[in-house]
Amino acid sequence: MLRLLSLRLMLAASIVPCVLSAAAAQTVEVQAAEVQMAAKVQAVVPSETIALISPTALKEQWYTWLTDDRHEDPRGVFTMQQDGTLRISGDGFGGLITRKEYADYYLVMEYRWGTATWRNRADRARDGGLLLHCQGPDGNFGGTKDNPGPWMTSVECQIIEGGVGDILVLQGKDADSQTIEAAATCEISRDRDGEAVWTAGGDKQRFTRGRINWSGRDPDWKDVLGFRGAKDVDSPGQEWTTLECFVKGDTLTYRVNGVIVNRASEVVPTQGKILLQTEGAEMFVRKLDLRPLPAEIP
């Protein structure tokens, strides 16, 4: 009888640690899931107009990222003018990055080019852009872990002479050097050089990198200062252009001076920070608003 009791006690002692180990493992899994859920930032969805350009917004809404000076701006690349306009000098590569993440918004931007150009883009097409749904560490695209680049994982609304409204998909790396997913599906045709051009009703294709040209992009586009294509709809020279981005769920619609120029669906990510680029060309921005989405997307 004593021997049987001893065997039962030994068996129970061997079972209890297994049960505890399984319970502990389950607890760790639950905690990991909770951490992952907490790590996803709650995106701001505008219920009223959020003005991202104002005398106080530069510090309240944005922070600076430049490849050479990181979070400092000793050259004054980004400065507010007395008339309330933001001047981007272009002397550097990087951008202003919003402090918050956003989703489901109607973005309205009014900008014009300046005359100054810089560095290796001094004689190239004036270039800038808006990176939407930015994710990951600052500078995680276009560089290395030890030498970060100017951009972030995102889907871009391109602003460049001859290419305003192009879509670019940028996949960068996280802090562990793992790829951060970014993608967009567009209806396209191919031009004579095989480049993807947004074409309503065209073949659907998923892109995880590269560029989808806006519908009227000149096939003879050249990266030269002052380029202007025959069908360009952005304003010429130093005139003001209105750029609109309709960001709804996993869709994007770009409109330039009242003309729809590009669309995407099945977009990844669907939320994130916004990065306003500096890329070697002087630019002035007098409006950059995030508004509630209209009842219908154009």
As a whole number of angstroms, the distance between CA 249 and CA 111 comes to: 26
Q: What is the DSSP string of 7-66?
A: HHHHHHHHHHHHHHHHHHHHHHHHHHHHHHHHHS---B--SS-EE--STTHHHHTEEEEE
Instruction: Taking residues 136-157, report their average pLDDT.
Output: 97
Computed over every residue of the chain, the mean pLDDT equals: 90
Q: What's the confidence (pLDDT) of residue 55?
A: 87
Confidence of residue 162 (pLDDT cuts 50, 70, 90): very high
More confident residue, 84 or 6: 84
Q: What's the confidence (pLDDT) of residue 3?
A: 45
Tell whether the model's pLDDT for residue 140 goes beyond 80. yes
Element (H, E) at 6: helix 2-39
Pick the range with the lowest mean pLDDT from 19-23, 124-128, 173-177, 294-298: 19-23
Q: What's the confidence (pLDDT) of residue 269?
A: 98
Tell whether the model's pLDDT for residue 16 goes beyond 70. no
The count of other CB atoms within 10 Å of the CB of residue 22 is 10
Could you give the count of Cα atoms lying within 13 Å of 35 in the half-sphere of its Cβ?
A: 6
Q: Tell me the pLDDT tens digit for each residue of 19-75.
A: 334 444 444 343 443 334 346 899 999 999 999 999 899 999 999 999 999 999 999
Return the CATH number of the domain spanning residue range 44-291: 2.60.120.560
Question: Taking Cα atoms as reference points, which of 98, 95, 152, 101 lies closest to residue 129?
Answer: 95
Q: Which two tokens stand for residue 271?
A: 């939320």
Bridge partners of residue 282, in order along the sequence: none
Q: Tell me the pLDDT tens digit for each residue of 262-277.
A: 999 999 999 999 999 9
C-alpha distances (whole Å) from 24 to each of 15, 27, 32 are 14, 5, 12
Pick the range with the lowest mean pLDDT from 2-6, 59-63, 230-234, 281-285: 2-6
Query: Beta strands 203-207 and 210-212: pairing type?
Result: unpaired
Domain edges within the chain: 1-39, 44-291
